Chains A and B, each alone.
Chain A
Amino acid sequence: MRRGGLLCVVVLAAACGGDSESAEPVQTSTVAPTTSAAPTTTAAPTAAPTPTSTATHSTTTTTQAPDTAPSVPGCTDIKRRAPAFEEGIAEHELWIGRLVGDQVTDQQMLGSGWSVGDGFIIDGVAHIWAMNALDHVLHHATFADGKFTDLGPISVDGHVFQGFIDPDVFRLPDGGIGLAAVNGMRTEGTPRQPGPICLMRSDNGQDFETVHVLIDESGVQDPAVLVGDEWVVAVKVFGEETVRVMVGTPETGFEVTVTGSGGDPDLVVESDGTIRLTVCGEGMLDTYRSPDGRSWEASDPIRSQTCGPASITGSDWMLHLPKPGQGGALPVESEPEEIAATTTSTSPPSIPTQGSNPFSSGNIALRDCLISSIGEEAFNGLAAGRMPVGAEMMAVGICMAQAGAGGSGGMPTAPSGSSCTPETPGGYSRHDRPFMFGIKAFHMYPPGEQSVADESDIKALGMNTVGLVFQIPYDDGGHINYPFSTFGSNFSDLDASLCHIGNLINRVKSAGLSVYLSGEPLYYRMGPGV
């Protein structure tokens, strides 16, 4: 799906629908094709008090399926997990901005630890549903007067649990709030594929009930839905940078009308009635337009370097997920061949796209960091104007953040394993305590990240133990991968990472505390400086 080209039209047989006997049918007799997806306008959401009366905190919180819950094979019979912290999205940043012309402007970060989201306007207030890292559950929130208000996790069939991901929200024909989301990963197949895309319904935006399977096709995710006489559904193909668009109805099934390259699809109806498909492209957002969801033509891209687009239907607001620490969507003024393609889950660290060459700017800290990471020869190449490639990009992101040459800025200098020297253990022994009473403090970094700042704070609680975490980074292929960055710390290799945790252990042990150390997998390319 290159800009300027047409999508290739591929009409395939329907492959969805779900179990019509057990599914509760969606009302279809009153389908209004253009009212469910409000046209994009230039009007901002009007000021209104939040939260609105239609959104309330969920009070149902168990994780076992109740006897009265609807039975929808594929949606209600897959294991539901208790809410739990999800490190994989902990450093994602959810931003909102206005789509003006071909740029995302007037941006504001809604929060870190927030990921894939969607929303629409209700009574003048932008209502947003987005994944939250703390519990890995879809939360309902509002955005008004520049204030983002978390209304808490949603419930599905009376329960709050983790499992549904990649939300897309929309108005249903009966006026209810529709939610399409992927039901985790299927239990069968090798490799396991994303679960079916389920349709849920709510009256208040907080408490949803399962309606039926919307798309029962294996290996698709990230749904975007427009409801009408015919529904238009865009999905991303799991493990590929490929988007499919399908047209049909839940009752009759869907047929694939187009496929093309890209990720994180978003669908919205423009003010002139045309449907706009926005996808993550190569360094910016690609767009396509269609009168009916069947025939598509490429249109002007949105020249902003970000990903995860999700229009707030009924406004010109757009949610998006730039690279952590990038500072929002960056304007792109030229063809970005050198800029890495970005997707929600695999976005590389930020690299400069215009202006002077930061590698030849005389920033000594940046120079030293890069030379230690990629070698002097490679650094000289960058200083001469060559663009970073492959693993160099990771090093650039880390070093620029550390050196204050872009990126996050403002953070204290992060521990860097490249300069770490393992300390000689103090004169302590291994304690044999009858009871280990302590606090999980992760890395005790960056300063202020935990409510306990140091060993004295832990002792002040009467504790004798600290729980620390040794993270073992993995890349997209599952390989253990260095360098990696996490929670403001950057490590060039395994030695550096071990050195850092060893010295931290040495410090707390020397203070008389015991240690519970746990190894934990972590995606290797977490945002620098976060």
Chain B
Amino acid sequence: MLDSASVPTYLSELPEVMARLAETAERYKVEWLAPISEPDKYFGPDAANQIMQDVLPRFDEFDGKLVWQVFDSVQRLDLRGYDVAGLAVLGCDWDGVGEMFDTTISRVVDWAAADGVTEIAHVEFGCVNNANTPSAAIANFDRWLGATSGLSSGLIILDSPRSAPNGQSVVGTWLEDWVVGYGRDLGFSPG
């Protein structure tokens, strides 16, 4: 994690990289782009708000959708200028009803509405670690997705790297069954 003392330096050098990233993303017709994912985690909410607004002009030539992927900030985040408010709901089987992610979803949905961001999406969803109780995870999934039903325009499932101990993979696990079933409910057929 970036040392807080290093954040200003990093942010001062970031715009140049952002411009190059925008060029590459446009060249290859990327659909969705988060300039920095979860900047509230890396920089804190104030600096995140600042840099996410500062870099916007660098993406003027990018014709895809810009995503503001939120970590878990309680402090108000400024989502103006972005196309998609991204949720990172990784509560797996350990977060409960009315707890962290229920409130995070509600907060981000409210911010998006207030800032004129018309799309909500689950851009990082599922489990970091292997679920101890898949049925509890599935119940959570249903509740979180239900909370954005009719609002969400995307669902990206996390596939934890295998080098990470106890990471939750998708293929070959209970999560694969859930993913395929959920996709079928939405009309997606395995290819």
Contact between chains at A435 and B10 (CB < 8 Å): no
A476 at the interface (CB under 8 A from B): yes
| CB-CB contacts below 8 Å: B1-54 with A | 1-10, 13-14, 17-18, 20-21, 24-25, 27-38, 41-42
Chain A residues within an 8 Å CB radius of B167: 134
* Residue in contact with B183 in the complex, picked from A86, A113, A462, CB distance below 8 Å: A462
State whether A450 touches B159 (Cβ < 8 A): yes
Residues of A within 8 A of B118 (CB): none
In the complex the two chains form, is B123's CB within 8 Å of A64's CB?
Answer: no
Q: Tell me whether A517 and B32 are in contact in the complex, defined as CB-CB below 8 angstroms, given that A435-B154, A451-B169, A479-B9 are known contacts.
A: yes
Which of A134, A462, A463, A478 interacts with B9 by CB under 8 Å?
A478
Check if B96 is an interface residue, CB within 8 A of chain A.
yes
Cβ of B56 < 8 Å from any Cβ of A? no
Task: Check B99 against A63 for contact (C-beta < 8 Å).
Answer: yes
Cβ-defined contact, A452 with B159, below 8 A = yes
Which of A239, A435, A440 has the most chain B CB within a 10 Å cutoff? A440
Q: Which residues in A have their C-beta under 8 angstroms from that of B32?
A: 436, 514-517
- Mark contacts of A495-529 with chain B using CB atoms, 8 A cut-off: 1 yes-contact digit, 0 otherwise: 00010011001100100001111111100000000
B78 within 8 Å of A by Cβ? no
A433 CB within 8 Å of chain B = yes
Contacts of A81 in B (CB 8 A): 41, 72
Question: CA–CA, A88 to B121, complex, Å?
Answer: 26
Q: Say yes or no: is A472 at the interface (Cβ < 8 Å to chain B).
A: yes
A430 at the interface (CB under 8 A from B): yes
User: Bound state CA distance, A517 and B6, in angstroms?
Assistant: 25
Pair A518/B69 contact, Cβ less than 8 Å: yes
- Are A474 and B90 within 8 A (Cβ)? no
Q: Given that A57-B132, A450-B162, A462-B180 are known contacts, is A439 also in contact with B34, CB under 8 Å in the complex?
A: no
The answer to whether B165 touches A132, judged by C-beta atoms less than 8 angstroms apart, is yes
Q: Which residues of A contact B123 (CB under 8 A)?
A: 467, 516, 518
Which chain B residue lies CB-closest to A442? Answer: B161
Contact A480 B37 (CB under 8 A): no
What is the CA–CA distance of A134 and B100 in the complex, to the nearest angstrom? Answer: 18
Is B158 engaged at the interface, CB distance under 8 Å to the other chain? Answer: yes
**Judging by beta carbons under 8 Å apart, are A457 and B171 in contact?**
yes
Q: Which residue of B is nearest A453, CB measured?
A: B171
Contacts of A150 in B (CB 8 A): 165-166
With A452-B171, A487-B161 known as contacts, the answer to whether A84 contacts B166 (CB < 8 A) is no
For chain A, which range describes its interface: under 10, 10 to 19, 20 to 34, or 35 or more residues?
Answer: 35 or more
Which residues of B116-163 are within 8 A (CB) of A? 121, 123-124, 128-129, 132, 152-163
**B161, A449: Cβ atoms closer than 8 Å:** yes
Which residues 67-92 in A have Cβ within 8 Å of B in the complex?
Answer: 79, 81-86, 88, 90
Which A-chain residue is minimally distant from B136 (CB atoms)? A61
Q: State the CA gap A469–B36 with chains docked (Å).
A: 10
Complex alpha-carbon distance, A515 and B71, angstroms = 20
Determine the residue in chain B with the shortest Cβ distance to A433. Answer: B31
Q: A199 to nearest B CB, angstroms?
A: 24
Is A437 a contact partner of B161 (Cβ separation < 8 A)? Answer: no
Residues of B within 8 A of A487 (CB): 161, 163
> Is there an interface contact between B164 and A113, defined as CB atoms closer than 8 Å?
yes
Interface residue? A460 (CB, 8 A): yes
| B36 touching A521, Cβ below 8 Å | yes
Pair A451/B162 contact, Cβ less than 8 Å: yes
B30-A477 in contact (CB<8A): no
Q: Give the contacts of B68-121 with A (CB-CB under 8 A).
A: 69, 71-72, 74, 90-91, 94-96, 99-101, 121
A530: which B residues are within 8 A, CB to CB? 163
- Complex CA–CA separation, A519 to B173 (angstroms): 28
Q: Is A452's CB under 8 angstroms from B170's CB? A: yes
Given contacts A84-B90, A133-B164, contact A451 B159 (CB under 8 A): yes
Contact with B along A444-468 (1 / 0, CB 8 A): 0000111110001101111111010
- Contact, CB under 8 Å: B159 / A439: yes
Q: How far is the CA of A530 from the CA of B176 in the complex (A)?
A: 26
Q: How far is the CB of B77 from chain A (nearest CB, A)?
A: 15
CB distance from A3 to the nearest CB of B (A): 29
A6 within 8 A of B: no
A431 at the B interface (CB under 8 A): yes
A494 touches B17 (CB 8 A): yes
B7, B9, B31: the one within 8 Å of A436 (CB):
B31
Chain B contacts of A135 at CB under 8 A?
128-129
Query: Interface centre among A150, A436, A438, A452, by most B CB within 10 Å?
Result: A436
In the bound assembly, the distance between CA atoms of A456 and B94 in angstroms comes to 32
Question: Contact between B27 and A502 (Cβ–Cβ < 8 Å)?
Answer: yes
A425 CB–B CB distance under 8 Å? yes
A62 interface residue per 8 A CB criterion: yes
Q: Interface centre among A112, A133, A467, by most B CB within 10 Å?
A: A467
A505 and B30 contact, CB distance less than 8 A: yes
6 pairs, A vs B, C-beta closer than 8 Å? A85-B128, A132-B165, A440-B158, A451-B159, A463-B183, A516-B123
Given contacts A113-B163, A462-B189, A463-B179, 16 further A-B contacts (CB under 8 A): A62-B96, A85-B164, A114-B165, A132-B166, A134-B167, A430-B30, A438-B154, A440-B124, A474-B10, A478-B6, A498-B20, A505-B24, A506-B28, A516-B34, A517-B34, A520-B36
What 9 A-B pairs come out closest when comparing CB atoms?
A: A478-B6, A191-B5, A478-B9, A436-B154, A61-B94, A459-B191, A462-B183, A451-B169, A518-B37
B binding-site residues for A, Cβ under 8 Å: 1-10, 13-14, 17-18, 20-21, 24-25, 27-38, 41-42, 63-64, 67, 69, 71-72, 74, 90-91, 94-96, 99-101, 121, 123-124, 128-129, 132, 152-167, 169-173, 176, 179-180, 183-184, 186, 188-191
Residues of chain A touching chain B, judged by Cβ–Cβ distance below 8 Å, are 57, 61-64, 79, 81-86, 88, 90, 111-114, 132-135, 150, 152, 160, 185, 191-192, 239, 425, 428-431, 433-442, 448-452, 456-457, 459-465, 467, 469-470, 472, 474, 476-480, 487, 494, 498, 501-502, 505-506, 509, 514-521, 530
